[in-house]
A and B are shown apart, each in its own frame.
Chain A
């Protein structure tokens, strides 16, 4: 599999490690009301789509950036690759 790194271009998938669903970026605030339930959902509940899936990948043997890879789990097509930091900032995170 080839992952098209947004900064470095096409790179072999063996340079990357996989973390999991990209929803892991949205870590709940542990100090708010209902934090226990929010953390339960954050830790244990995942969608398991047959189709497009957003995933976190780490370029461990490259520039060590975190990426959000949108991949089709049926066809294995890589639809888009973004820098995870940019995705998190778009969601309103400060860093």
Chain B
């Protein structure tokens, strides 16, 4: 087998993830996460929940995010979740999840479809109220939702008052990066 020495590129097209700081805000591109969407197949809810518990995948309530030691998950829609796992150990995440769930779930690899930015800083709602219609002051840590940022459907995960994740379409990584930085500059 030929030996390839190819360098992977980050969603923003560099060899290393980009970090931008403006005032109290730091925006970091995150690349060490594997993603897969999990959906319950019809009439399999009970077996699905048991399988998820056995492998240690949290199944948060609508509009929420939950983490345990290996897996983190956020709610996508009724009976549907996005699962995050460390990229180093779960590069082929479907191959890891499929034996656990068998025919109870539909699993789709999502790793390279998304770009994730972690936004860290104080008074984040002041920045995010310029970006989206989601009312961040009503929702505390552990909340998660899909909403519109600029014209893009993005997921927002609230880890704490000072740390949010924005997960958006990877092909629009530069647009999201620009929107975040513009909002940070406008707010601070």
Tell whether, in the assembled complex, residue A62 and residue B146 are in contact, meaning their CB atoms are under 8 Å apart: yes
Interface footprint category on B: 10 to 19
Tell whether, in the assembled complex, residue B63 and residue A85 are in contact, meaning their CB atoms are under 8 Å apart: no
- Answer whether residue A10 sits at the interface, using C-beta atoms and an 8 A cutoff: yes
**B18: min CB distance to chain A, Å:** 26
Q: Name which residue of chain A comes closest to B135, CB basis.
A: A10
A-B contact count (CB 8 A): 38
Tell whether, in the assembled complex, residue A61 and residue B77 are in contact, meaning their CB atoms are under 8 Å apart: no
In the complex, A83 Cα to B147 Cα: how many Å? 19
- Answer whether residue A14 sits at the interface, using C-beta atoms and an 8 A cutoff: yes
Q: A7-B78, A83-B78, A85-B78 are in contact. Are A61 and B63 (CB under 8 A)?
A: no
Tell whether, in the assembled complex, residue A61 and residue B78 are in contact, meaning their CB atoms are under 8 Å apart: no
Candidates B42, B62, B138, B148; contact of A63 at CB < 8 Å: B62
In the complex, A95 Cα to B78 Cα: how many Å? 13
- Answer whether residue B1 sits at the interface, using C-beta atoms and an 8 A cutoff: no
Q: A12-B133, A15-B133, A95-B42 are in contact. Are A61 and B148 (CB under 8 A)?
A: yes
- Answer whether residue B76 sits at the interface, using C-beta atoms and an 8 A cutoff: yes
Candidates B75, B78, B146, B148; contact of A14 at CB < 8 Å: B148
* Contact indicator per residue, chain A 31-64, by CB within 8 Å of chain B (1) or not (0): 0000000000000000000000000000001111
What A residues does B147 contact at CB under 8 A?
Answer: 15, 61-62
**A1: min CB distance to chain B, Å:** 12
Candidates B42, B138, B145; contact of A62 at CB < 8 Å: B145
What A residues does B138 contact at CB under 8 A?
Answer: 9
* Given A9-B63, A63-B62, A95-B42: 17 more A-B contacts, CB < 8 Å: A7-B62, A8-B62, A9-B138, A11-B133, A14-B148, A15-B148, A61-B146, A61-B147, A61-B148, A61-B153, A62-B146, A63-B75, A63-B77, A63-B78, A65-B77, A65-B78, A85-B78
Q: Which chain B residues have a beta carbon within 8 Å of chain A's beta carbons?
A: 42, 62-63, 75-78, 133-135, 138, 145-148, 153
